[in-house]
Amino acid sequence: MEVEQRHFKNAEAAGKFTESSDNQPPSLSSSVHTLDLGVSSSVNLTFTNSKIRSDEEHIRALKGLRNCVLLAVLLLVLSLAIIGAVILAIFWISNQEAPFDYAMIFDAGSTHTEMVIYKWQADKFNGTGVVSQVASCDMKGGIGVVLREDPAATAPGYLGPCVAQGLAAIPEARRGHSPVYLAATAGMRLVRSESTSDARRILASVERTLERAAAGEGGMLIGVNGVRIISGQEEAVAGWISANYLLRTIYPKPARMVGMLDMGGASTQITFVHQEDPTSLGAFSATEHDTTLRLYGATHELYARSYMCFGQGQLLNRYLVLLVKDLLESTQSLVLPDLIQVKSPCHHLDYKETMMFRDFVNVCSETLFTSELKNITVNLEGSSNSSECKVKIKELLDTNHCLNTFTSKDCFSKPATHPPDTIFVAVSGFHYVMDYLGFSNKEHPAPDNFSRDVDKWCSMTWEDLKVSHPGIREEYLSLVCFNAQYQAHLLFDGYGIKEDTWKNIDFLKKINGTSVGWTLGFTIRSTNAFPQEQASAPSQTIAFLSSIFVLAVCIGVCLTLIFSILAKNHCRSNQISIK
């Protein structure tokens, strides 16, 4: 049985083998083919995966490049939008500033006329304009001299060129807001004293010329009293304002203020902050020379006094008349000569000058006898006598002597007492004398030394003086002795300057680079009367706001897109999926 089963299994196995043989059992080549097919499929799959990865990297690179370009464009647009917004903001802010007002001011002095253009922002500071100079123009000769004979014919040619220059410095759009002032000082005060009709004719011709040239053609404003003769006190106060404004003691906030000493040709002024009277509960004793100012929101109580006929030029005229008077009284001659020889102690030895008596006679130097002497020729000779010069100066400043000698009652009397700690700024003639004496650029000497130096100067001969000071014009050089002796007597004996307060005087030509004159202070004070003008908005407000809105939207969109691109790049680099 077992044999049969084994036989059967063997037979079965043999049958399978036979079947397999009948079906051509696999050869070596078929096995190799099957092996090759497996390898080829694996290689193809690897190649396909590599190609897919390469395509994906290429696509990612293209997307990255596209994002970089888009990001750069967005950043450019954002930058332009921000720049545009900044420019528009600057435009808006600049248009929020108040416009400038301008003024054309004429300083009609005794020896020349000066036109100055000033400007200030119309919104002002506490009611007063912050003024600065724009342009200036000078006209030779005072209007009281140049225009006196025929003012209607000479005024246009005299004023016209400077008016044209002034108009060129003022924007056309602001001329309708800009006033014109001509303020005449001591020179025209003298003309008015001599002849009221002459003064009126001169001022009327000046006003017509300015109305035609500045107002008619230029469109500027000439108000009531735009052309006038200002008082000596107005001039003194204006000079005080100028000095303290330039020193920044009244603006932007009050500080310790200086007094003002001004020496002109026809008058001299003294101005200072008034000393309070301790016996009257803080109030000072008011006089005709006191004035109250309100500038930049603060109130100032001033003592301001002008002395007509005590400018250097007019006092010299009085001095020459006094020399002739004393000579004639000493000779007691009943017959008036045609020519007289006069010794001048205030002029240098060997100095000589010939003049007509009428040349130095006017309303300031008129006496009871001058009308009889107007045709006399005077030969003036210097004597370099400093002590005698001082005597003559003292007589000229003596009130009783003045009243008994001159018909004009413009005589000197001492001003109110200034506070002992007052610092004075001395300008114009005061500065020039100190400059000629060599003290303007250094600390001036003590009073005794100053007097000694003046005496030394006055003792020099005319020839020695010209040799030692070749840079000074002879017409000025010849008067330094007289002017120095006069100023020394005026300051010490007249104004009450003491030895310890002498050092508190600064003799200046300029303050912070600007010449000290009364026109600046006159303009500052005048701005109080001008209406305050607020800042104006841009004329095309709707367009401006629309532009700001568009730029804001553009900036917002750009920032959103930039953030989105940066966020996607960040997530992709960190394999974070964003759908």
pLDDT digits (tens, 9 = 90+) for 177-197: 889 999 999 999 999 999 999
Neighbours of 260 (CB within 10 A): 27
Q: Which of 213, 230, 247 is the last residue of a domain?
A: 230
Q: Is the pLDDT of residue 36 over 60?
A: no
By C-alpha distance, which of 156, 136, 171 is closest to 213?
A: 156
Residues 103, 222, single domain; the answer is yes
Q: Are residues 106 and 128 in the same domain?
A: yes
pLDDT score of 222: 75
Cis peptide before 415 (omega within 30 of 0): no
- pLDDT at position 4 over 50: no
Q: Exposed, middle or buried by CB within 10 Å (0-12, 13-18, 19+), for 95?
A: middle
Give the CATH number of the domain where residue 184 resides: 3.30.420.40
Q: Does residue 204 form part of some domain?
A: yes
pLDDT at 152 exceeding the cut of 70? yes
Cα 161–chain centre separation: 23
In whole angstroms, give the CA distance from residue 540 to residue 535. 15
All residues at 6 or more sequence positions from 479 whose CB lies less than 8 Å from its CB, including other chains = 312, 316
Residues spanned by the domain of 149: 99-230
Same-domain pairing of 181 and 89: no
| Long-range contacts at 53-60 (CB < 8 A, ≥ 24 apart) | 60/572
Place of tokens 């004429």: 106
SS3 of residue 525 by DSSP: helix
Task: Output the known binding site.
Answer: 265-269
Evaluate whether residue 167 is within a structural domain. yes
Q: Does residue 569 or residue 278 have the better pLDDT?
A: 569
**Type of residue found at 209:** T
> What is the pairing mode between strands 180-184 and 227-229?
parallel
pLDDT at 57: 67
% of the chain at pLDDT higher than 70: 76
User: Beta strands 100-108 and 112-121: pairing type?
Assistant: antiparallel
Catalytic site includes residue 234: no
Q: Rounded distance, CA 243 to CA 248, Å?
A: 9
Query: Could you tell me if 85 and 198 lie in one domain?
Result: no
**Domain final residue pick, 230, 256, 290:** 230
User: Do both 88 and 169 map to the same domain?
Assistant: no
Q: What is the pLDDT of residue 236?
A: 96
Residue whose structure tokens are 């724009």: 134
Determine the Cα–Cα distance for residues 66 and 353; give it in Å rounded to an integer.
98
| 87 and 164, same domain (yes or no) | no
Strands 510-511 and 514-515, bridge-based pairing: antiparallel
- Residue 443's pLDDT is 73
Q: How much is the pTM?
A: 0.76
Q: Identify which has the larger pLDDT, 461 or 570.
A: 461
Q: Name the band, by pLDDT with cuts 50, 70 and 90, for residue 562.
A: confident
Active-site residue, from 2, 56, 97, 235: 235
- Looking at the fold, whether 79 and 193 belong to one and the same domain comes out as no
Task: Quote the number of domains for the chain.
Answer: 2
What's residue 575's pLDDT? 53
**Residues 92 and 150 placed together within one structural domain of the fold:** no
Given 198, 230, 262, the domain boundary residue is 230
Round to whole Å and give the CA distance between 402 and 408.
9
Give yes or no: residues 106 and 224 share one domain.
Answer: yes
Q: Are residues 119 and 143 in the same domain?
A: yes
User: How many residues does this entry show for the chain?
Assistant: 579
| Domain annotation covers residue 243 | no
- Rounded distance, CA 426 to CA 423, Å? 10
Report the relative pairing of strands 298-308 and 267-273 from DSSP bridges: antiparallel
Residue 404, Ramachandran bin (φ over 0: left; ψ between -120 and 50: alpha; else beta): alpha
Query: What pLDDT, in 10s, does the model give residues 487-524?
Result: 999 999 999 999 888 999 999 988 988 888 899 999 99
Cβ–Cβ under 8 Å, residues 428 and 487:
no
CA pair distance 299, 522, nearest whole angstrom: 17
What confidence tens digit (pLDDT) does each residue in 258-275 have?
999 999 999 999 999 986
Q: Is residue 152 part of a domain?
A: yes
- In contact, 219 and 391? CB cutoff 8 Å: no
- 10 Å Cβ neighbour count for 79? 11
Closest by CA position to 179, among listed 103, 100, 105:
103
Residue 162 pLDDT level (bands cut at 50, 70, 90): very high
Q: Is residue 257 part of a domain?
A: no
**pLDDT at residue number 453:** 92
Mean pLDDT of the chain: 83
Residue 173 in any domain: the answer is yes
Q: How confident is the model at residue 94 (pLDDT cuts 50, 70, 90)?
A: low
What pairing do the DSSP bridges indicate for beta strands 377-382 and 424-428? unpaired
Asked whether residue 89 falls in the same domain as residue 193, the answer is no
What is the structure's pLDDT at 6?
Answer: 44
d(CA 46, CA 385): 127
Percent with pLDDT over 90 in the chain: 58
Is 109 within the bounds of a domain?
yes
Same domain as 198, residue 118:
yes
Binding residues for ATP: 265-269
Q: Is residue 207 part of a domain?
A: yes
